[in-house]
């Protein structure tokens, strides 16, 4: 009897199968939200046909910051110091602006020790996908409250959090990030569309993904548990993404859907549930975050987008050639030029 032929592996538009988009086997707890986010990152980069060798991954310290080991194995990577990923990413992007960069941080890594670096990253609009895997606690050091833990939220041992949270989306919008979204690790479809849109966006894409910690913060009284988030998720509408390489025309009802053209020509369609919500209106975005948090809800989806804003590389007016590949002769002024400067200072 002849053997059935092995089915051909599915390949993407650059001819790769999914294997090079995967990473090492996860060492995080089974059921941790961070694992689901890694899965969506694999799907998004595979489906967008991004060459993993053109990607550089960054992280700080935490369970979340271990995640870049679990996706895009052939990519470049730098697992940095706690809260210091933004400065490392900034240096790398200045050295080679042709790379596509993705950083993974935690709510502690970003909101506590790294808040100063986060603030300056957002105001610079560095081209970087910046993901916060937000579980409201320091998972790696056994579940202490982080700065995104809600006021009144209960720890596993019954301790009540008596400090108000930092809303990283509101902070990012106020400071100048040009793509700001919130999603949930359990919402596969929304998170995948948001990640694909972020890949197409040029500028900082700040994505806060609520990502329950099953070991330390998934109990009753936590506002970052699977059941709480499922009951209080208020999607802003449907997020659909059409990449520039797919020639699909989408029928949509003008007035109820906002179509946004992204940097590479891809289209993002945001079907609104709140009919008057405009994701390019900063004040409306801040009001939405404020109002939903007052109701103890999470607004999810693309909250703010400014597709044509100059990014940090544009602002610095860098030469076209990546700095890392310039020769010594190109970067060092000749002796005669230095002598002339010295002479002018006499
Ligand atoms: C300079 C420094 N201070 C403190 C620590 C201890 N530490 C390691 S991870 C962490 C917090 C991690 O929390 P988060 O960023 O939310 O990541 P999670 O583990 O929850 O994914 C802390 C305080 C450290 N590694 N380095
Ligand atoms: S301790 Fe929490 S955050 Fe860390 S891997 Fe386990 S479930 Fe995830
Ligand atoms: Mg955390």
85-141 per-position pLDDT tens digit = 999 999 999 999 999 999 999 999 999 999 999 999 999 999 999 999 999 999 999
pLDDT for 1: 56
- Is residue 135 lining ligand 1, measured as CB closer than 6 Å? yes
Question: What are the domain boundaries of the chain?
Answer: 19-320
The closest-lying atom of ligand 1 relative to the alpha carbon of residue 60 is 15
Point out the ligand nearest to the CA of residue 135: 3
Cβ distance 241 to 196 under 8 Å? yes
The closest-lying atom of ligand 1 relative to the alpha carbon of residue 107 is 16
The closest-lying atom of ligand 2 relative to the alpha carbon of residue 133 is 3
Distance separating alpha carbons of residues 59 and 78, to the nearest angstrom: 7
pLDDT in tens, 270-281: 876 566 678 899
Helices (H), the chain: 33-48, 63-66, 85-95, 107-108, 115-124, 168-175, 188-200, 226-232, 282-294, 312-316, 328-331, 335-345
pLDDT for 273: 59
Ligand 2 centroid to 100 CA: how many Å? 28
User: Which of residues 173 and 279 earns the better pLDDT score?
Assistant: 173
Ligand 1 centroid to 341 CA: how many Å? 48
Look at ligand 2, atom 8, and give the residue with the nearest C-alpha: 32
Distance separating alpha carbons of residues 166 and 98, to the nearest angstrom: 33
Q: Is the dihedral of CA 275, 279, 284, 285 positive or negative?
A: positive
Name residues contacting ligand 2 (CB within 6 A): 28-29, 32, 34, 63, 135, 139-140, 213-216
Q: Is the dihedral of CA 59, 288, 198, 120 positive or negative?
A: negative
Helix 85-95 vs helix 115-124: crossing angle, to nearest 10: 30
Strand partners, 235: 300
pLDDT at 331 > cutoff 80: yes
Q: Say which CATH superfamily domain 19-320 falls into.
A: Thiamin diphosphate (ThDP)-binding fold, Pyr/PP domains (3.40.50.970)
The upper half-sphere exposure of residue 323, i.e. CA atoms within 13 Å in the direction of its Cβ, equals: 14
Ligand 1 centroid to 332 CA: how many Å? 41
Distance separating alpha carbons of residues 43 and 55, to the nearest angstrom: 15
Planar angle of CA 42, 85, 233, nearest 5 degrees = 55
Ligand 1 centroid to 140 CA: how many Å? 6
Ligand 3 centroid to 31 CA: how many Å? 15
Distance separating alpha carbons of residues 301 and 297, to the nearest angstrom: 13
Look at ligand 1, atom 8, and give the residue with the nearest C-alpha: 62
pLDDT for 295: 87
């Amino acid at each position: 009897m002849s053997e059935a032929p092995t089915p051909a592996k599915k390949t993407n538009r650059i001819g790769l199968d999914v294997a090079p988009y995967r990473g090492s086997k996860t060492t995080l707890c089974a059921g941790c939200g961070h694992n689901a986010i890694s899965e969506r990152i694999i799907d998004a980069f595979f489906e967008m046909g991004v060459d993993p060798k053109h990607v550089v991954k960054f992280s700080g310290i935490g369970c979340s910051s271990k995640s870049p080991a679990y996706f895009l194995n052939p990519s470049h990577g730098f697992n940095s110091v706690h809260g210091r990923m933004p400065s490392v990413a900034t240096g790398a992007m200045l050295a080679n602006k042709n790379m596509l960069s993705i950083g993974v941080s935690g709510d502690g890594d970003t909101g506590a020790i790294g808040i100063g670096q986060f603030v300056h990253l957002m105001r610079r609009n560095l081209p970087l996908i910046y993901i916060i895997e937000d579980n409201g606690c320091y998972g790696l050091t056994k579940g202490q409250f982080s700065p995104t833990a809600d006021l009144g939220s209960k720890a596993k041992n019954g301790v009540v959090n008596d400090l108000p949270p930092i809303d990283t989306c509101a902070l990012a919008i106020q400071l100048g990030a040009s793509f700001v979204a919130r999603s949930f690790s359990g919402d596969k479809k929304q998170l995948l569309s948001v990640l694909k849109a972020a890949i197409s966006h040029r500028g900082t894409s700040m994505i806060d993904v609520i990502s329950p910690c099953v070991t330390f913060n998934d109990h009753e009284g936590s506002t970052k548990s699977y059941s709480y988030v499922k009951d209080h998720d208020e999607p802003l509408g449907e997020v659909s993404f059409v990449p520039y390489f797919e020639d699909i025309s989408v029928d949509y009802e003008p007035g109820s859907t906002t179509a946004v053209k992204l940097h590479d020509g891809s289209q993002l369609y945001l079907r609104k549930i709140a009919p008057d919500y405009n994701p390019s209106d900063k004040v409306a975005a801040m009001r939405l975050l404020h109002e939903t948090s007052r109701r103890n809800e999470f607004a999810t989806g693309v909250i703010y987008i400014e597709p044509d804003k100059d990014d940090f590389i544009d602002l610095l007016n860098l030469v076209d050639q990546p700095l890392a590949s310039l020769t010594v002769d190109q970067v060092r002024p000749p002796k005669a030029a230095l002598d002339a400067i010295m002479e002018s200072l006499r």
